[in-house]
Structure 1
């Protein structure tokens, strides 16, 4: 089993480029099914979840090639409409393939998805919305079988602005007669990026980034398109949190600062000096961080749940107490026990976590409990005194491309041991 070894206590210096957004590229790869032609996706990060999505596309019969950060998908030869359990288990967001397969084939079969164990996800929202659009669904033995009976566009009001449900509706609605309007849609930048891809293949989609998204269905789509994935706002935020914790001054380049303004605002509150440009952010850490908050995870444009763990790792070293409230996922405080092994003072009560800052963290043997929890371990390890060993880093590889090389570029003493 691979692990990361970090010799902490070194300030970070230099610049690093943000890669393509994991949470954008996965639904876009799924969406390539719809066109029935060739889609060239640029700025595609080299991640385990991307490999899993490509494996699903190949199982479905698509031809996929990857060269550097460009992935080419030819969905013309697609000849299957099922996804086996072992592929579904590799990626928590694999349910995003349900809408596109239904749009292309009129039927779909898959098991419930895998990935990080963060508690229940609102998959029922996906299924309820698809049923309203005329899809019949049978759930049996952990398997979903769906087929189109009378697909028809309609208004769908989501009880909460689920990113995955919004995406699945958008993707299937391209095949439904009439107009579909998603009310209380997710507003994340990744929704806008998916809209840009769909518009690139000729779909009628508008409103992404607002509360209502409209999709006009059964429009003849273009067979070929190219698309560049937006920058990963969570990767960008993780770099900033790491510098805040370890000290130093870094610049995150090729990013979109407006996408993670809720994070930079809190880092400024903590005493960090930030310079925000059009496509970059420079951060200089203070001698010691101040506590911030309260920090409440919320749907976009609120503070992102995916940045909660890295920020918490930094706040473990802040003067004062920071109160975190996790409003999106259950089981997202599993990293707290690992931080406490390093000397953090954290008290968890349900959705609340009270983080009392300590003078220092001590390197220890810890594990990545999930993707973002693993990022928190890296942040803490960079700031800690002594050596930190992080196991189960396959979680980290799901969402961070060669994380050890990125931080070594910033002067960190970090290596991967196989």
Structure 2
């Protein structure tokens, strides 16, 4: 009989190990082909794993598909091309608002969130043209400081344009963020940091309005938020003076953003550590930058290969430094 497993439940695989199942967007059902307890001492056959999909339309165009059946126990072999990091790409796209010329991003993944962020950029007058895995954003002629609310609410990262618009135009009005619901993930650290830099920020029922001349200062984050770190890094690039961000996030996506900002002419040091220093400049120029490989995608395939004896996968490109525990 099938049994629905909750987070942390244990299951036995065909090679006698035990692992943890964690529920994500899929409901997991484990249906052993025969009892895992064999009175004859024979090794049990691999279980059949059924993934009951919460969002079938994202997996198949066939409305009749309800379950994906995965027969386990087969070694995984071959070569896999790792996509560019979505989380890094979204922050890089927001940073393109700061540039007075075109920003070309390469190895951009083809995902719905990328299309949504393109819509956010276009709604403020920027051009955003995606050709294969190359994305060219030209925000040299901004026409608005209020991106379309429906576009911003389509993804969490849409709110990242608040800081760049404020730094570039002196004002911005951005809808409260949407996207996935992972914990609380509040925006208060963004707001506190911008206010510390001299901005007047009003948090309304459905949007945030910010304006004012920005001056470098020291900001200490209550916790190392990636979004807040990225917001303040981008904003500080065009602020007067020097900004120091303490207890900053150290994730590879933050390092990638610092790399693009430096390529555009920004003065940044300390990315990847707990303290980031940004010296403001008069303007930033266009640049070409490669999105780093997606460490989450690479890690997912690496774990899958490690779980099945005899597997051998070649994953490329992968940055080994991004795969090590912090």
Q: TM-score, normalised by structure 1?
A: 0.60
Q: Is the 8 A contact 1:28 1:194 kept in 2?
A: yes
Deviation at 1:6, TM superposition (A): 4.5
Deviations 1:74-125 (Å, cap 9, x if unpaired)? 1112211112321122111221111111111111112211111112113100
Aligned to 1:201: 264
- Return the alpha-carbon distance in structure 2 between the equivalents of residues 98 and 62 of structure 1: 15
SS at match of 1:242: helix
**Going by fraction, where is helix more abundant, 1 or 2?**
1
- Return the alpha-carbon distance in structure 2 between the equivalents of residues 194 and 229 of structure 1: 9
Aligned to 1:167: 230
Q: Does 1:249 align with 2:312?
A: yes
Q: Is the 8 A contact 1:110 1:145 kept in 2?
A: yes
- Return the alpha-carbon distance in structure 2 between the equivalents of residues 3 and 194 of structure 1: 31
Deviation at 1:136, TM superposition (A): 0.8
Deviations 1:311-332 (Å, cap 9, x if unpaired)? xxxxxxxxxxxxxxxxxxxxxx
Q: How does 1:14-53 map to 2 (within 5 A)?
A: 14-53=78-117
| 6 and 69 in structure 1: CA distance in 2 versus 1, 3 angstrom threshold | farther
Aligned to 2:59: 3
Q: Does 1:63 align with 2:63?
A: no
- Return the alpha-carbon distance in structure 1 between the equivalents of residues 69 and 143 of structure 2: 46
- 1:234 pairs with one of 286, 296, 310: 296
Q: Which moved more, 1:246-255 or 1:128-137?
A: 246-255
- 1:87 pairs with one of 117, 127, 151: 151
Gaps of 5+ in 1: 263-300, 302-418
Q: Is the 8 A contact 2:129 2:137 kept in 1?
A: yes
Deviation at 1:142, TM superposition (A): 2.1
Gaps of 5+ in 2: 1-56, 61-67
Aligned to 2:190: 126
Q: Is the 8 A contact 1:17 1:255 kept in 2?
A: no
- 1:135 pairs with one of 175, 190, 199: 199
- Return the alpha-carbon distance in structure 2 between the equivalents of residues 96 and 128 of structure 1: 15
| 203 and 243 in structure 1: CA distance in 2 versus 1, 3 angstrom threshold | same
- 1:218 pairs with one of 281, 287, 291: 281
SS at match of 2:125: coil
Q: How does 1:222-301 map to 2 (within 5 A)?
A: 222=285, 224-247=286-309, 248-262=311-325, 301=326
Q: Is the 8 A contact 2:267 2:281 kept in 1?
A: no
When the two structures are aligned, how many residues end up with a matched partner?
261
SS at match of 2:144: coil
For the aligned residue pairs, the C-alpha RMSD in angstroms reads 1.5
Report which of the two structures shows the higher radius of gyration computed on alpha carbons: 2
- Return the alpha-carbon distance in structure 1 between the equivalents of residues 261 and 274 of structure 2: 18
Deviations 1:364-388 (Å, cap 9, x if unpaired)? xxxxxxxxxxxxxxxxxxxxxxxxx
Q: Is the 8 A contact 1:204 1:217 kept in 2?
A: yes
Aligned to 1:391: none
Deviation at 1:64, TM superposition (A): 1.5
SS at match of 1:110: strand
Q: Is the 8 A contact 2:99 2:284 kept in 1?
A: yes
Q: Is the 8 A contact 1:202 1:219 kept in 2?
A: no
Deviations 1:47-98 (Å, cap 9, x if unpaired)? 1111111111111111111111100111112211112321122111221111
- Return the alpha-carbon distance in structure 1 between the equivalents of residues 288 and 59 of structure 2: 36
Deviations 1:169-204 (Å, cap 9, x if unpaired)? 011111210000101111111111111100111111
Aligned to 2:211: 147
Aligned to 1:107: 171
Deviation at 1:245, TM superposition (A): 3.8
